[in-house]
Structure 1
Amino acid sequence: MRSWMLVKTLLVVGLLVPAMTLTLLHLSQPSANLAIRLVGLTPLALPLYLVAALVAIVPAARRRGRSAYTALALVAFSGLVVQAIWFAPLVTGDAREADAGASTVTVMSSNLRKGLGDRAQLFAAAAQRQVDVLVLVEVTPAAFDAMRREGLLDPYRYQAGEPVEAVGGTVILSRIPLGEAQRMDTRWGSWRVAVGDGLTLVAVHLSSPSNPNNWRSDFDHLLAAVDSDPPDIIIGDFNASSDHEPMWRLTDDGYRDAAELTNHWQPTWPANHLGAGLARFLPTTARIDHVLAGPGLAALSSDTVHIADTDHLAVVAELAPVSGARPR
């Protein structure tokens, strides 16, 4: 009996330690590489607290060892409540109401992992969803040339951005006329462009937190650009989730993730058991790829799309003007 109680104790503690670590990191918003990455995994704490609470509650109700298990159960339930408060707005928020009969725009973004993502699968998914604007990040010259040779670019008459070797290339493909694109001051490819007559889109690929200074600097540049001339849509690989403080500042400016607006939790990374270190073994937990809609836009739908040979799920959303408002 004592050995079984010991196993239960070790199990509860083994669940609570990582759960509490994720909670504390979310609260402290650290500046170190690994810690920043772990903040993006904050939703993992929710099931950890839940299982710990369920394991601890039964022995806590019994006389033997009740005080110790009661303390563990209280810690687990307290953490569960905190995590639920953080997580609930992602799946229960108020949706913006779109204008009845308003024209819509469907946008999609995919990280191609240095051009290795399955091109045919990506463009087939875009065609199936009738994507108007397709943003590709980590697109290399070789991958882009292959897309052209294979006729994959034919549906997208308008193009902006540029492919670059390794991870720096970002390209915007559109069925809708594009204005002159402006390169933004981030280390990897981020671009601002007018889409059609009334929308401004910013396609981003912000630095990885593997270099925390570059990560924060890229966010500073993005936030400054948004403050000076707010776009309608910000889309791409942010390398940050809604649990990171820089994303809170975009929320304060009125930008909402299309997944949140449609009350869906749609993590995008890691996928396909690709990536470095623990990413190969973790479930897809962090939403670091986003379609952010400005205050003038509502989301009619939001989804993720599996693309082979990349460690990100693609994101796609259908957007429309908010009832009683116009996009800026």
Structure 2
Amino acid sequence: MTITSTPAEIRPARRVTRTVLLALLVLPGLLWAIIRLFGWERGPLVQLFAFTPYAAGWVLIPLLIAVIARKWLIAAAALLAAALLAVCVLPRALPDADRGPSAGLPLTVMTINVYIGHADPAAIVKLVRDHDVSVLALQEFTPEEMWGLSAAGLDRLLPYHSLADVWGTTGSGLYSRLPVSATGSTLSKGGNRQAYATVQPPGATALAVDSAHPLAPYATSALGDWRADLADEPATNSTGTPHILIGDFNSTLDHAPVRNLIEQGYRDAADTVGKGLIATWGPYGDKHLPPVTLDHVLVDKRIGVRDVAVHGVAGTDHRAVIAELTVPTA
């Protein structure tokens, strides 16, 4: 019987090869974590970084392999990547100790991208009715969607409005159960209309509400306008009217421009109550992309957040986000 074995000079080469391959497996996660931590995403990375929560889960695989293989230096690098991404992602799944004021007037708001007017009007009206929604924001809002919502009875539930309905993807609208003033819409640099209004709850301070819809970073050529649209969203003013931005921001909390916007005096409602990882968009058409969180309710820090829920709506690839808020009394 002949016994064969790997020649001694080959075994070290194989060990080196395995070590290099494992290091190459860890490196993307480490680079991802560093870029995310410092907000350095640029070019094609902007779209990719919407999937950061998935990357945070993936880095655990090379970490486990490195530990099993006893490659301690590589395991340390993988652990660093996992820790950095956990710091960036996990807080969204944990309720904040500070949810804002708990005393005041309850107010429920809802946002839904109606996908070029294809969303089921009856389903939207049912959500408004079932959840006692006082303010509704719509994006990709078309005349056809407006007619459908009216026929489904939305005008009876929310009789006040500020509408910028446009054929295609650029329209938006606001409906309110409460009286509104200072209505209108702005045209963003990226070409989307953003309806706005001042909403007056009874016995409470007036609220400035915008149906936010920055341009999507669909290509590297659009990134300048995407960043400009997010930078141009209204900032809060501690002595002025409290602001609420609700809509499809075409950004997740892993994009630096939307984090910069929030740092100007807002809180993300879903993040605040530990539901910030619930996906609101995707998959899109025949592109089997993992779902991500593009739709947000951003509220002035003078406004409290009680709860957030996400609901699917037939006819659109976005989901409705419903936030229960507490607004300061007059």
Q: Any idea what SS the aligned residue of 1:317 has?
A: strand
Question: What is the TM-score of this pair, normalised by structure 2?
Answer: 0.82
Give the one of 274, 290, 294 matched to 1:283.
290
Aligned-partner Cα distance in 1 for 2:182–2:163: 10
Once residues 19 and 313 of structure 2 are traced to their aligned partners in structure 1, the CA distance between those partners, rounded to angstroms, is 41
Q: What is the aligned partner in structure 1 of residue 97 from structure 2?
A: 94
1:235-264 C-alpha deviation (Å, 9 max, x unpaired): 111111212222222232220111122122
After superposition, the Cα gap between the structure-2 partners of 1:25 and 1:114, relative to the gap in structure 1 and judged at 3 Å, is: farther
Residue type of the alignment partner of 1:246: P
5+ residue gaps, structure 1, are: 61-68
Q: Alpha carbons of 1:12 and 1:195: their partners in 2 closer, same or farther (altered >3 Å)?
A: farther
**Structure 1 SS opposite 2:78:** helix
2:3 corresponding residue in structure 1 = none
Structure 1 pair 47–182 and aligned structure 2 pair: CA distance change class (3 A): same
1:198-217 residue pairs with structure 2 within 5 A?
198=205, 199-210=207-218, 211-217=222-228
Cα RMSD for the two superposed structures: 2.9
**Residue of 235, 247, 252 corresponding to 1:236:** 247
For 1:115 and 1:159, the matched residues in 2 are separated by 17
Give the 3 Å change call, closer, same or farther, for CA 52–318 of structure 1 in structure 2: same
Aligned length: 307
Q: 2-side partners of 1:52 and 1:165: how far apart? A: 48
The counterpart of 1:294, out of the listed 285, 289, 300, is 300
Structure 2: tracts of 5 or more residues without a match: 1-5
> What's the counterpart of residue 179 of structure 1?
181
Shift of 1:290: 0.7
Provide the TM-score with structure 1 as the length reference. 0.83
* Aligned AA (1:282): L
Which of 181, 184, 195 is the aligned partner of 1:191? Answer: 195
Matches of 1:327 and 1:15, distance apart in 2: 55
**d(CA) in 1 for partners of 2:18, 2:131:** 48
| Residue equivalent to 1:128 | 130
Of the three residues 60, 64, 73, the one matched with 1:50 is 60
Contact 1:18 1:45 in 2 (8 A): no
Partner of residue 162 from structure 2, selected from 155, 160, 163: 160
Aligned partner letter, 2:284: L
How far 1:55 sits from its partner (Å)? 2.7
Shift of 1:168: 0.7
How far has the Cα of 1:267 moved from its partner?
3.5
Moved more, 148-157 or 225-234: 225-234
Alignment CA distance shift 1:112-1:154 (3 Å): same
User: Is contact 1:270–1:312 with CA below 8 Å preserved after alignment?
Assistant: yes
CA drift at 1:177: 1.0
| Partners of 1:258 and 1:124 in 2: CA distance | 22
Q: In structure 2, how many angstroms separate the alpha carbons of the residues matched to 1:155 and 1:25?
A: 46
**1:28 Cα deviation (Å)?**
4.9
Deviations 1:134-184 (A, max 9, x none): 111011112222222333433111111221111111011111111131322
CA contact (8 A) 1:232 1:327 kept: no
1:133 counterpart letter in structure 2: V
